[in-house]
Amino acid sequence: MNKTIKIVIGAVVVVLIIGFAWYFQKSQKQNENKDIIKNVVKIEDIKIGAILDLTSPLASYGVEYKRGL
């Protein structure tokens, strides 16, 4: 192999190594960020409460509102 081909192959290898290092570093940071977010924000059920009129002449509205929740 002549000198030019060796230089080109060496350059390609260096670029591939840098690319793999960058990719793995980026994916590791994303995984760390996901873990941090999971620890900070705990996902819990949100309970919605409402005081509805279910026994007066306006009970028909309260029943419909209850169905909407």
Element (H, E) at 13: helix 3-40
Stretch 33-45: mean pLDDT, rounded? 64
| Model pLDDT for residues 48-59, shown as the tens digit of each residue | 788 888 888 888
Cβ atoms 32, 18 nearer than 8 A: no
Phi-psi category of 25—alpha, beta or left, where left has phi over 0 and alpha has psi -120 to 50? alpha
Instruction: Please give the pLDDT value at position 40.
Output: 61
Residue spans per domain, the chain: 3-68
CA 8, 9, 10, 16 dihedral sign is: positive
